[in-house]
Each structure stands twice: as C-alpha cells, then as structure tokens.
C-alpha cells in the first residue's frame, strides 16, 4: 500500500496541473518620476489588447507589477512576456501572453531563463553564503527553501533550512541534468521534467532527516528603473551631505518616497559627452552593481547631478573599520569578494572596464550585501588639475599597464585591482603599499613587487590574489574564472553539497 501511494505521488508530480493565475490589478498613473523631460529616453508605446501571434524573445515575470503609467504593462509573477522592442533599455516593450496586452516592462522584474519559469517565487541569483544568510533570518520556518545558480552550466542548487537534533542547518543540494539534458534530478533515481515537478515532489517526500520543503524564502521587490535618464531637478529633494572629497559632494536625497544618493561633481566632461555616457549607464543593471538612476543636466547654468541608488552603510573601506565591519568573519569577507566578482563578471561580459575598482568604490547595503559602484563614471567625471597625482589616479591600486603611458587598460586591469581589493578586505580596510611613497609604489608595482598575504588569508586565497597580479595582463584570469575559484574556496571552507546525493557528472 505504501508503495502504491509513493507511485501515485510520483505520477502526480510527473503530470502536474497548471492553474490559471488571477487577472492583474490595475493602478492609475501617479508616478511623477517618469514625467520628466530630457534628451535621454525610450519612446513609450500605447498599450493594446489581444496580440497573441508573436513569439521569440520570451521572458518570465519574477514579481507582480501594477502600472504607474498608462504606457506600462500589468503582469503577475510567472506570466510569460514577449519582448518586441527596446531590448537593451531599462524599460522594454513587451506583450503579456496571458492577457494579450502590450506595454513597457521594467527589465529587472523578469528573467529569460525558461528552466526556472515555473519556480520564479523560489529563484534567488545569489551565492552560497548569501543564501545561508537569507535562510538563517530569525523566524524563518524549517523547510523554507530557495533555488540559486550553480557553477556548472544549466545546473542549479536547492538550499533549504533544516532542523537536525534541535540545531538549525542550511543544506545545499545540487540539481543536475541527465546525460540527455532532458530531465533534472537531485537523486538520480527520481528525475523530473521541470524544476516545478522536482520541488513539488520534495514538498511531500523528505530531502534528508525527515525534512520536506515548505515554502520559498520571501524577498522584496527591487527598485524599478526610472523611464528617463534625464531627471527633473525639481523632483530631487536634497536632505543632507554624506560625503565630500576631491570629486565633489555626495548628498542623501529623495525623489518622491525613494531615497537616493546625489553626487555633485566639481568638474565634468563636456555636457554632450556627459549626456552620452549617462545614456549608456542608464541601460546597465545588475544585482551586484549600484544602480545608476539618472542625471540632472538642466538648466545648464546649474551644476549637474548624478543620481544613484542609496547604500545606507556607505563605502566598504570605511565600513570595514567600524565595529560591525571588524566583527565580520572569514566567511563574511569571502562573501564580499564573491559578490564583487559577480558584479565584475557582468561588467566584463558587456566589455565595460571599471578602471577604479577598490573598497572606496564598493558600497554596503542596509542588510550587509555589497555592490560595485562608480563603474563607467571615469568618462563622465574628471579631476581638477590642482589635485595630487595620487588622487587623480589610484596609484596603489593601479595595474602596471595603467601606470605606463600609452598602454591599453582592459578588464584584466580590473582583475589586478580585484586582487588589491582582496588585500583591503582581509586587512579590514588596510592601505596597499602603505609604506611606499607614490614614486616608490609605481616602481614596486611595475617591477612585480606584490603585497604580503593579510591575516586569515589561506594559501588558496593568496594564490588567487597572486594570479591577479601577473605582470602580463593576458596571464591573469578572467572574472568568470575568478568567480569560479572564489566559489570553490567558499565550498572548501563551508562544506560541499550534501554528501547524501550524487553530484553532477563532468
């Protein structure tokens, strides 16, 4: 009888029924953020109804979305949407396959990974440590889970909160594909056609230690991008200054109910170049990058304003020297390096060179997550000629090729700086080549003198740092390789996937 019930359960999850989601809510347009005027914009299209014959660029909704403007499209989590225009813009023209309506959708509310389409409520594009932090939040019930990316192509990891002999433990189960890539499994004996089938099965049958899955880990919706890179100056409320340096001032500001960081540079590139670069920046988004929201360039007699996402805990270099930062453990520091690598993999993929990757340009969110900031802004902002050389160019963080006139700076130069960042993080804000003068630092860097390993830095970590400091740029790893090595270090220190289950072949 037990065997029959087990067979019936298996049939249930191999042939699941799909419920039709309820109709989306609608909301009258009230958002003044998207009514600003300026030269940088995606032209909105009017919403139409019942367009059902287009296919090709399918994406899947990660969250519910209620429009704030008549040109926006309503959708619910799990809806399938077809993108038909503005493919590289923050707001893309799409058709809701369920309702047939057309309008603009925010790009950070959707994914193009069809495999996770049925389990979007459980999807978190985070690493191992971040997954554990989310599942260890007090009040989270046993069996809470999430699905996250794995190192291997087209594979995933199921992370679940379990209770073993009264002790909470986060377990990680690798989800692999069969040799023909048709099915997914944790245990080879039970392959499934979809992730949704797999999760459904383990909601009724224990993964380990009598632990069954209960519900996905909760998450907050991200800030939607502004429709236009040109933001009305009148909509920006300046609250207080939070930083001041050679580049200018940074203020805490507010646009409607959204807290933002407002940078007032002392000097900028010519206005046309500035606007052109702002237009490029407005199309860039990644979870590990400080979101560029827009600029204020009008009226021309006023200073330009650069508006970005606000990070309450400030720059990483200063955060590491606070009591909270000093209490970070080795695994927390590794998480920082993993998150930075994740953001840099994206910049590398779009061929954008940061040029100034260091702890002062990595920022800490309220929940301790970090994001890379000030990427691509070197072309928008310029230093006053009166500034010391060491401030114009971050000498102690620079790669040899960046210090030699005429040498091309590439993403491999960012890799060098990533190695220096590792030193900063594991020395809790230490200054690289601190005992050297500027001239001595230049000679040391160009002749191959590298930094000693900081405390709590294992030989495997230091080997990664050393690989970033190869004098010949081509000999340094790519950020994709760096990311894989960081994940391997984390797994070697924090435990591998649960040994009860088979790992993916190959």
Residue recorded with tokens 């509310």: 109
Tell me the average pLDDT across 67-93.
Answer: 90
Return the higher-pLDDT residue of 417 and 375: 417
**Domains annotated on the chain, with CATH:** 32-115 (2.30.30.40), 116-202 (3.30.505.10), 314-381+391-506 (1.10.510.10)
Residue entry with tokens 């740029």: 473
Q: What is the mean pLDDT of residues 479-491?
A: 93
Q: Mean of the pLDDT values across residues 376-395?
A: 53
Q: Report the SS3 class of residue 482.
A: helix
Confidence (pLDDT) at 393: 60
Residue-wise pLDDT for 292-309, tens only, equals 999 998 888 888 899 999
Residue count (the chain): 506
- pLDDT recorded at residue 89: 82
Residue 282 confidence (pLDDT): 85
Average pLDDT over residues 189-202: 93
Which range, of 1-5, 170-174, 391-395, averages the lowest pLDDT? 1-5
The beta-carbon contacts of 75-81 under 8 Å, at least 24 apart in sequence, are 75/24, 75/99, 75/105, 75/109, 76/21, 76/22, 76/24, 77/120, 77/121, 78/21, 78/117, 78/118, 78/120, 78/121, 79/21, 80/117, 81/105, 81/110
Cα 133 to the center of its chain, rounded Å: 16
298 and 281 in contact (C-beta within 8 Å)? no
Q: What is the pLDDT of residue 85?
A: 84
The model's pTM: 0.75
Q: What is the pLDDT of residue 56?
A: 59
User: pLDDT, tens digit, for every residue of 99-139?
Assistant: 999 999 998 899 888 888 878 889 988 888 889 988 998 88
CA 184, 57, 41 angle in degrees (round to 5)?
Answer: 130
Question: H-type helices in 126-238, by residue range?
Answer: 128-135, 195-202
Query: What does the pLDDT read at residue 453?
Result: 95
Q: Which pLDDT score, from 0 to 100, does residue 495 have?
A: 60
- How much of the chain exceeds pLDDT 70, in percent? 81
Task: Just list the catalytic residues.
Answer: 356
């Amino acid at each position: 009888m037990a065997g029959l019930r087990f067979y019936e359960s298996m049939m249930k999850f191999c042939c699941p029924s799909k419920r039709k989601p309820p109709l989306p809510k609608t909301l009258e347009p009230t958002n003044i953020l998207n009514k600003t005027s300026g030269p940088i914009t995606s032209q909105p299209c009017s919403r139409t109804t019942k367009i059902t014959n287009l296919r090709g660029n399918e994406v899947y909704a990660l969250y519910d979305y209620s429009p704030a403007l008549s040109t926006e499209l309503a959708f619910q989590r799990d809806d399938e949407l077809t993108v038909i225009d503005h493919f590289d813009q923050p707001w893309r023209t799409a058709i809701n396959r369920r309702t047939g309506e057309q309008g603009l959708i925010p790009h950070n509310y959707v994914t193009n990974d069809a495999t996770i389409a049925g389990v979007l409520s459980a999807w978190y594009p985070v690493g191992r440590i971040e997954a554990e932090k989310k599942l260890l939040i007090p009040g989270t019930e046993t069996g809470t889970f999430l699905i996250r990316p794995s190192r291997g192509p087209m594979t995933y990891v199921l992370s679940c909160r379990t209770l073993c002999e009264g002790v909470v433990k986060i377990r990680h189960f690798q989800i692999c594909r069969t040799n023909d890539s048709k099915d997914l499994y944790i245990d080879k004996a039970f392959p499934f056609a979809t992730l949704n089938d797999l999760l459904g099965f383990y909601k009724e049958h224990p993964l380990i230690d009598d632990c069954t899955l209960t519900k996905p880990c909760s998450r907050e919706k991200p800030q939607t991008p502004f429709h236009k890179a040109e933001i009305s100056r009148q909509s920006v409320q300046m609250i207080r200054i939070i930083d001041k340096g050679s580049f200018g001032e940074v203020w805490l500001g507010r646009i409607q109910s959204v807290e933002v960081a407002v940078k007032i540079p002392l000097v900028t590139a010519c206005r046309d170049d500035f606007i052109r670069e702002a237009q490029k920046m407005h199309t860039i988004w990644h979870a590990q990058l400080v979101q560029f929201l827009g600029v204020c360039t009008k009226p021309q007699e006023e200073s330009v304003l650069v508006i970005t996402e606000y990070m309450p805990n400030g720059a990483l270099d200063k955060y590491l020297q606070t009591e909270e930062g000093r209490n970070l453990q080795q695994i927390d520091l590794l998480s920082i390096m993993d998150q930075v690598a994740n953001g840099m993999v994206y910049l590398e993929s779009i061929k954008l060179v940061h040029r100034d990757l260091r702890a002062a340009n990595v920022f800490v969110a309220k929940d301790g997550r970090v994001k890379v900031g000030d990427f691509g802004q070197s072309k928008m902002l310029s230093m006053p000629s009166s500034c010391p050389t060491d401030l114009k160019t971050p000498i102690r963080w620079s790669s040899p090729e960046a210090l030699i006139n005429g040498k091309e700076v590439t993403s491999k130069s960012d890799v060098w700086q990533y190695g220096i960042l590792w030193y900063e993080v594991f020395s809790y804000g230490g200054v690289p080549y601190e005992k050297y003068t500027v001239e001595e630092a230049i000679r040391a860097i160009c002749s191959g003198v590298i930094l000693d390993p900081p405390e709590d830095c294992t030989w495997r970590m230091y080997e990664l740092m050393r690989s970033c400091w190869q004098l010949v740029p081509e000999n340094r790893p790519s950020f994709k390789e760096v990311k894989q090595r960081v994940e391997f270090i984390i797994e070697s220190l924090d435990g591998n996937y649960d040994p009860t289950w088979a790992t993916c072949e190959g």
